A and B are shown apart, each in its own frame.
Chain A
Amino acid sequence: MATLLDPTSELQPARRMALPRPASLQGKRVALLDISKPRGDVFLDRLQDRLTAMGVDSRRYRKPTFTRVAPVELKQRIAGECDLVIEALAD
């Protein structure tokens, strides 16, 4: 395992942090990503109903297979069309 020296001021934790959650969903478009695991669509259907009820725009996306990472084209499409992603990860 290679080791690199941190070039920064080390004011941030060494672990990469997740992006901050948005303060509100208003005005944002949510990507609902089905990774092609069974019943992921059931979960996302319910979420989409609730988002719609909140007046939040959403779009559905689907990975061809859960066994591989999302294709670049799909990631680019989501990034171009949406502000955040909710992924249905499990059966």
Chain B
Amino acid sequence: MASETIAITGAAGITRPISERLHDWIVTVDHKKLGILYIVYGLVFLVVGGIEATIMRIQLIVPHNHFVSPQVFNRMMTMHGTTMIFFVVMPILFGFGTYLIPLMIGARDMAFPRLNAFSFWMTAFGGLLLYFSFIGGNGLYGAGTAPDVGWWAYAPLTSRAFSVGHSTDFWTLALLVSGVGSIGTGVNFIATILCMRCPGMTLGKMPLLAWLNLVVGGMVLFCISPLTAAQVMLSIDRYLGGHFFDTQAGGSAVLWMHFFWIFGHPEVYILVVPAFAFVSEIVPVFSRKPIFGYPIMVAATIGIGFISFSVWAHHMFTVGMSAYGNSFFVFTTAAIAVPTGIKIFNWIGTMWGGKIQFKAPMLFCIGFLFQFLIAGLTGIMLGAAPFNWQLSGSYFVVAHFHYVIVGGIMFAVFAAFYYWFPKMSGRMYNETIAKWHFWLFFIGFHLTFDFMHIPGILGMPRRIYTYEPGRGWEIWNFIVTIGVLFQIAGVLAFVGNLLSSLFKGEPAGSDPWDAWTLEWSTTSPPPDYDFATMPAVKSRRPLWDLKHPEDPDWKYE
């Protein structure tokens, strides 16, 4: 959190009243404050989504449990997925992007600061609208209900006939609203990165975080819109008597699936590419080497961006597409593994021959590498359509995507927190507690998500509020639930560390990690205007050039 003392020499020590500071945060268009707002918003919903997951896992710890009713469980299931994707991971990633991109490209703010603020508040309002459904889902005269149709909201389950009341509409409208915010962020990322780089920073000299967020911005434009369109269609069906997904009138349930997954698959790449960006910035610094193969990393990311729009029906292998249709999507799904694998090799190549320091950011990055590797491989398994006919809709898939999102993305997010927390707050976090966070979360993650693959292999479908005894699923569900305890402990350590370090941490200085990109050339936290004078750069690592004038990067690039 930026200290409220004004960062002009000679005026130190003046603190303003709390109402003024609060107002400042609400009306801000400063990318740093908005970035922090996004991140804190995401963290709050991380806890909420975690509670929803915990409720589900307690219900599933033994068969035929009665901890919650099936209705409540199905709401938890829907809200957990929707919350985590739209109101936790996306805000946190967009928040880091908003905070870091201008600083890393030597700009003073995003291209459209007011659009930036608008995007945040649309996202924030979307989340609040979704959660208002708990009160207002059935109208004011009945008990409210949250949506219970699953986060994909398949038709025709979402039609008026099968989803009475307004719970589905809360899902639709909340995501429509936050989708507008996401598109705004996408526009802003692209315009900022293309139009606001400091002198000398050609596209080939930008930090990888900037490149990867440029690709994310582009993907957002193509990806969110199909979901928006589908949700408008669903609302037309539900309120204007339309028949887009009305099977009784000749409409197609599969059309919804196509539209949803044309959004849904690129969406998960939108989630993972910023995580790649974090790892690409952190691993080099803690290996003391530049990223291995910068041009290939850029090319691979662009490749992933494009190919990700061609794989969507691998979520639909069981709906009865023709053999040729299924084969096409097997091909594209396998193809996307190539650029993704290349990136893993490049990260290892970065560490190779380096001098690795196992501080918290690096620990989490190593966890990311290990877990993302496994997640990618289970993804290959799922991409083989006949194998998918067994595994889809089962706990194997649930294990796979949590491996990506928690084992991959969340680990990278934790790494990013620890890496940039000193810059954002001016304080160092406690390294010992951070290591406790790592090991507790690591153990909990593996207890839960390693063993979760097994019930899937043994035939346990997903989205069930209870299961039959005698099918061999009991012990695995038990272990999976126990892992949650360790994860909770880890997250508590994390939050505690952040809060206490905010007030009592050691002053960090502007460059605690001896890093090489432009954000480390300003103070911690940066002044409102980011840079006193516009920097000019000659290489990808401007601070390396300054620290090693006898051996600058631009001689070799």
Q: Do A and B come from one complex?
A: no
B residues whose Cβ falls under 8 Å from a Cβ of A? none
A residues whose Cβ falls under 8 Å from a Cβ of B? none
